[in-house]
Amino acid sequence: DAMVIQNPRYQVTQFGKPVTLSCSQTLNHNVMYWYQQKSSQAPKLLFHYYDKDFNNEADTPDNFQSRRPNTSFCFLDIRSPGLGDAAMYLCATSRDLGYEQFFGPGTRLTVL
């Protein structure tokens, strides 16, 4: 089945220690998104890639970076995680801009 895969499902890191979360998709979609979702809150868009074109949300902290080496993979790098960065990180894809988004299962990040 075509799908969005996120690894790892659970990630524990220490305060200030860089961490990378991974997303891959077999849908061959052009657009990939990263969202942050804290407990009982709406998903918050961090950035998206349209093909290789990176689009950052204005309020996304510089601490968050992303890479998309090819169509299938996208990475979220948190350079110096703080306690406030503990959250579920959701990757989503869509066929093109403005189309329905399909989400992966998420990576739950814990910062100690």
Contact residues: another protein, CB under 8 A: 4, 6, 40-43, 45, 50, 57, 88, 90, 92, 97-98, 100-106, 108
For another protein, give the closer residue by CB, 43 or 81.
43
Q: Which two tokens stand for residue 32?
A: 């990939």
For another protein, give the closer residue by CB, 40 or 70.
40
The amino acid that residue 61 corresponds to is: P
**DSSP 8-class letter at 100:** P
Report the C-alpha gap between 60 and 11 in whole angstroms: 21
For another protein, give the closer residue by CB, 7 or 41.
41
Report the C-alpha gap between 79 and 36 in whole angstroms: 15
In whole angstroms, the minimum distance from the beta carbon of 49 to another protein comes to: 12
